[in-house]
Amino acid sequence: MRKPYVYITRKLPEPIVDQFRLFSEVKMWNSENLPVPREVLLEEASKADALLTMLSDKVDQQLLSVGKNLKVIANLAVGFDNIDVIEATKRGVAVCNTPDILTDTTADLVFSLILMTARKLVEAVDCVKSGEWKSWSPLFMAGADVHHKTIGIVGMGKIGEAVAKRALGFDMKVLYHNRNRKVEAEQTLGVTYQSFNDLVSESDFVVCLTPLTEETKGMFNKETFRKMKHAAFFINASRGAVAVEKDLVDALKNGEIAGAGLDVFVKEPIDLDHPLLQLENVVALPHIGSASVETRLAMMKRCCQNIELILNGKQPLNVLNM
């Protein structure tokens, strides 16, 4: 019997590829750092039974229509806004993601971003390394406290709950907003549900963890930033397009908010001359929420398991559209 053909859109470590070789013929794009060109992706999709994709690959109608043999798309991410899941479902293609295994790693990064932004840690490191540290002085590199402040989490999924646990360890008051109330989290963690507007105006740290959908696109805009406290920080580790970047730049420039910690941008990589990167009160990271070696390897293995299970007609561990 012909072995199924799996195409992986980025170079992965050999031990992972070996796992694929056990049940498939596998090929991958031969660069770790650069995405597969669209023409190559379409050509491969037209032959493949399964694709392992990155969040930088667009899996749209065009790709799905050429992918006549496709049975499964496994995305190396928990987010899946790069995939047209409705179209995949119509064509009987399963879409898998990697939830759960990246929850704590991502929450650690979110909390780091909060601390980095509030305590000016990037500026502080730069100043030591560039020889600008002249003496201990009373307000030198003095930032804002994190402990005992109010954090407002927008998008209370598993990562949101893991961030809430960390915040409670810092004696923070935790507010959250979500499409559905999380009654169990309210009871077990002691977090408080708020309307979006109240959360935004009461929080010292507004933390966005919501998936990107038609409803959440641009939800952080001029009006939202205007409602925030002048001393508050905006932290985004979901998808760039939940915020209107131009409005964020204006709010940061005009002192409507104190700063922003961003792991995600509308265009990734962000252009070097983007106004956000010119501002001192912005900490920018290169979309590394789940980037620990342990977690990334676990995510790759999970994609491999899901692909194998689906190709064998079995129930996958994670699927968005069964």
CB of 104 to ligand GLV, least distance (A): 13
Restricted to residues 50-69, the positions that interact with ligand GLV (CB under 6 A) are 55
Considering the candidates 239, 245, 256, 296, report the single residue annotated as catalytic: 239
| Under rule CB under 6 A, residue 160 binds ligand GLV | no
Restricted to residues 266-295, the positions that interact with ligand GLV (CB under 6 A) are 289-290
Restricted to residues 173-232, the positions that interact with ligand GLV (CB under 6 A) are none
| Under rule CB under 6 A, residue 77 binds ligand GLV | yes
Give, as one character, the DSSP assignment of residue 83: B
- Choose, by CB under 6 A, the member of 70, 78, 241, 243 that binds ligand GLV: 78
At 18, the amino acid letter reads D
Nearer to ligand GLV, 16 or 251 (CB): 16
Taking residue 37's Cβ as centre, other Cβ atoms within 10 Å add up to 10
Which phi and psi angles does 30 have, rounded to 5°? Answer: -90, 30
CA distance 118 to 295: 26
Restricted to residues 92-121, the positions that interact with ligand GLV (CB under 6 A) are 102
Q: Which of 110, 105, 100 is nearest to 158 (CA)?
A: 100
91 in active site: no
- CB within 8 Å of 69: residues ≥ 6 apart: 5, 47, 48, 49
Stretch that binds ligand GLV, among 59-67, 75-83, 246-254, 308-316 (CB under 6 A): 75-83
What sections of the chain are H helices per DSSP? 14-21, 38-45, 61-66, 85-90, 103-118, 121-129, 158-169, 183-189, 196-202, 222-227, 245-253, 293-311
| Under rule CB under 6 A, residue 240 binds ligand GLV | no
Contact set with ligand GLV (CB under 6 A): 55, 77-79, 102, 289-290
Active-site positions read: 239, 268, 287
